[in-house]
Amino acid sequence: MSEARVFLLPDLGEGLTEAELVSWHVSVGDTISVDQPIAEVETAKSTVEVPSPYAGIVAELHGQPGETLDVGKPLISVTPVSTGEPAAAPEPAEPVVEPVETELGESTDSAADAHPEAEAYREEEKAGSGNVLIGYGTPGGHGVAKRTRARKSSVAVAEPSEAPSAETKELDDLSLLRTRVPGKLGAVISPLVRRMAREHGVDLGDLPGSGEGGLIMRKDVEAAISAPSVEPVETKPQPSVEPVETQGLDPRTGLAISSRTPVKGVRKAVAANMTRSRSEIPEATVWVDVDATALVELRKELKAASSEVPGLLPFIARFVTAGLKKYPELNTRIETASDGSQEIVSFDGINLGIAAQTDRGLVVPSVRAAEKLTARELDAEIRRLTDVARQGKATPTELGSGTFTLNNYGVFGVDGSAAIINHPEVAILGVGRIIDKPWVVNGELAVRKVTELTLTFDHRVCDGGTAAGFLRFVADAIENPNSLLADI
C-alpha cells in the first residue's frame, strides 16, 4: 500500500505564521480529490478554506477544531489510491532512503530514485492543483512544483550557524519568492525563516530585510540571533498564571476571575498593529465641524428621482480621493532601511481603506484604485467589501493593500475620535454622526445638519498646514457638493 503523503499548513500570505482550525470538511477514511476543500481555518485576516493538493484516502487529521496550528506543520495525511502495478516491496534498509523532506520542502533525489511511485506522483503534482498557497496558487503551473512532506526534524532549522552555501541560499530565495504577497513584500517571510525567528525569539516586526523590497532573508534572522542584545528569555513567567486560575482570585484586586479570553485571530492582529502604530508614528490630530445640509438635501433630491442612490459615505469617499490628489503627502508610506535611513514612498493611485466593525474585530478592506470610481461605483464596492469582511471571507490583498483609511464611526452614535493610524499608512479620516445643530447662515441662526471630521496624520510626512488644507478641502466639498459630483 502506498505511503501516506503529509500536507503541511501552507503559507497564507501577509507574513502570517499561524491559523486557528475552525472545522474539518473531511473525515478519516474519506476519499478526496485534488483541490477539494478539506478544512476551514481562521487567520488574523480572514476565514479561508484550505484545498488539498493530493488525491486519495484521508489517513489522519492533524488537529482538532479550535486548535491553533503553525504554518509548515502537518495538517492532513492522505494515502494515494494506487494505480497500475504496485511498487516492489522495499528492502529492510529502504525506509531510511524513503522520500525525505528537506528544509525547503523538496524531496531528495535519492529518495525519488528509490521509489518510482513517488516519481510518478511528482509528475502528477507538476500539473499543479493551483491552490496550495491560498489565494496565490501553487508553482505547479510553472513546472517546478515541490513536494510538501513532513520535515525531517523540527530542530534542523535552528542548527546552521555558519554562512549558508550558495546552493542553500538559492533554495532559500526560491522559497521566499513562493511566499511573497503581491504589493506587500517587506512583511512576508518564508516558513523556514519564520520558524527560525520564532525558535530564537527574534521579533520580525522590527527586523529590516536585506532582500528585494525589504524581504526578510535567513541571513537577516541569523544576524539578529548572533547579535549580543538579542536574548529574549522574558516569556517564561507563565507558571504564575496557573495558581491564579486554580485559586480563582486575582491577586491584584482580590476579585474572583470570571473568565479568560485568549487574544488571537483578528483581535491579536489589530492589537499588534495598533501598538506598532502608537509606538512608531508621531501622530497629530486636527478636526473641524462641517455643515452637511447641502449634501443631505442633494441625496434626497437624487433619491426622489431614482431608487438607486449611493449612501452618504460614498459621496464623502469621492471627496476624500479628490483631496488626496491635491494633497498626495497623505497618501504615502514611510519605509526604514537597514541603516536607519527613511524614505517617503508615494503611490500612483489610491487604495481607500474602509474601516468595518465585524464580530471578529475591526478590519479595513480597501477599495482599489478608488480615485477612478464614481460615487455609485464606490457605493457598490464599499458594500461588497464590508459584506465579505463581516463574513470573514476578505482576501489578504483586500485587507492589506490600503493607502489611506476612511472611518465612519458616526454609525455608532459618536461625534469624534482621535483614531489610531492604520500602520503602515500615514493618515486616517474619521466622520462623526450627522445631527441637527444651531448654525449661523448668512448672519442668521439656523438649524443645520452638522458633522465633525477628524484627521489623524503622521507628522513625519507633512506639517499641520498640509493636513489642515486637506481637511478643509473635504469639508468644503461636503458643504458645496455639486461641484465635485458631476459624475455620480
Whether residue 207 sits in one domain with residue 87: no
Handedness of CA 287, 289, 291, 295 (dihedral sign): positive
Whether residue 159 sits in one domain with residue 143: no
> Position of cell 481562521?
42
φ and ψ of 319, to 5 deg: -65, -35
How far is residue 470 from each of residues 330, 346, 460, measured CA to CA in Å?
A: 9, 17, 16
Q: Which position has the higher pLDDT, 219 or 429?
A: 429
Amino acid 470: pLDDT: 98
Domain count, the chain: 3
Residue 156 has pLDDT above 50, yes or no: no
- DSSP string of 336-347, one letter each residue: E-TTS-EEEEE-
Amino acid 10: pLDDT: 82
Whether residue 127 sits in one domain with residue 206: no
Between 218-226 and 166-178, two packed helices, what is the crossing angle to 10 degrees?
A: 110
First to last CA, the chain: 65
Q: Which of 99, 132, 152 is the last residue of a domain?
A: 152
> Position of cell 526534524?
153
Q: Among 103, 118, 309, 128, which residue's Cα sits nearest to residue 191?
A: 103
Residue 241: burial class (beta carbons within 10 Å; 0-12, 13-18, 19+): exposed
Residue 44 has pLDDT above 60, yes or no: yes
| 392, 397, 403, 409 alpha-carbon torsion, rounded to 10° | -10
Residue 33 has pLDDT above 80, yes or no: yes
Amino acid 68: pLDDT: 86
67 Cβ contact partners less than 8 Å away, ≥ 6 residues apart: 20, 21
Amino acid 120: pLDDT: 46
Element (H, E) at 352: strand 352-354
Which residues make beta-bridge pairs with 210?
none
For residues 181-209, average pLDDT? 64
CB 20 within 8 Å of CB 68? yes
Residue 261 belongs to a domain: no
Whether residue 339 sits in one domain with residue 434: yes
CB atoms within 10 A of CB 203: 10
Residue 365 belongs to a domain: yes
Residues composing the chain: 488
| % the chain with pLDDT above 90 | 39
94 Cβ contact partners less than 8 Å away, ≥ 6 residues apart: 114
Beta strands in 151-308 (DSSP E): 283-291
> Position of cell 458616526?
410
Which three three-digit cell numbers place residue 292? 452637511
Q: Which of 85, 118, 152 is the last residue of a domain?
A: 152
| Chain centroid offset of residue 258 CA | 32
CATH of the domain at 343: 3.30.559.10
Whether residue 147 sits in one domain with residue 230: no
Residues with a catalytic annotation lie at 459
The pLDDT confidence band at residue 4, using thresholds 50, 70 and 90, is confident
Q: What one-character DSSP code corresponds to residue 447?
A: E
In this predicted structure, which of 130-134, 187-191, 237-241 has the lowest mean pLDDT? 130-134
Residue 260 belongs to a domain: no
CB atoms within 10 A of CB 93: 7
For residues 70-87, average pLDDT? 75
Residue 239 has pLDDT above 90, yes or no: no
Residue 102 belongs to a domain: yes
Residue 32 has pLDDT above 80, yes or no: yes
Whether residue 159 sits in one domain with residue 146: no
Residue 293 belongs to a domain: yes
CATH of the domain at 96: 2.40.50.100
Residue 47 has pLDDT above 80, yes or no: no
Residue 222 belongs to a domain: yes
Residue 257 belongs to a domain: no
Whether residue 221 sits in one domain with residue 89: no
Q: Which position has the higher pLDDT, 174 or 355?
A: 355
Q: Write the secondary structure of 93-134 as one string of H (helix), E (strand) and C (coil).
A: CHHHHCCCECCCCCECHHHHHHCHHHHHHHHHHHCCCCCCCC
Which three three-digit cell numbers place residue 169? 541560499
Residue 182 has pLDDT above 50, yes or no: no
Residue 259 belongs to a domain: no
Element (H, E) at 59: strand 56-61
The pLDDT confidence band at residue 343, using thresholds 50, 70 and 90, is very high
Whether residue 458 sits in one domain with residue 399: yes
What is the identity of the amino acid at 106? E
Q: Which of 129, 152, 175 is the last residue of a domain?
A: 152
Amino acid 397: pLDDT: 84
Whether residue 229 sits in one domain with residue 195: yes
- Taking the C-alpha atoms of residue 444 and residue 450, their distance in angstroms, rounded to an integer, is 16
Amino acid 229: pLDDT: 52
Whether residue 6 sits in one domain with residue 101: yes
CB-side exposure of 485: number of CA atoms within 13 Å?
A: 28
pTM: predicted TM-score of the whole model, two decimal places: 0.55
Q: Write the secondary structure of 167-201 as one string of H (helix), E (strand) and C (coil).
A: HHHHHHHHHHHHCCCCCCCCCCCCHHHHHHHHHHC
Amino acid 228: pLDDT: 61
Whether residue 336 sits in one domain with residue 193: no
Which residues make beta-bridge pairs with 290?
451
- Taking the C-alpha atoms of residue 58 and residue 33, their distance in angstroms, rounded to an integer, is 10
Which residues make beta-bridge pairs with 457?
284, 427
| % the chain with pLDDT above 70 | 69
Domain that holds residue 210: 155-252
Whether residue 99 sits in one domain with residue 62: yes
φ and ψ of 367, to 5 deg: -85, 110
pLDDT tens-digit readout, 391-405: 888 888 888 899 999
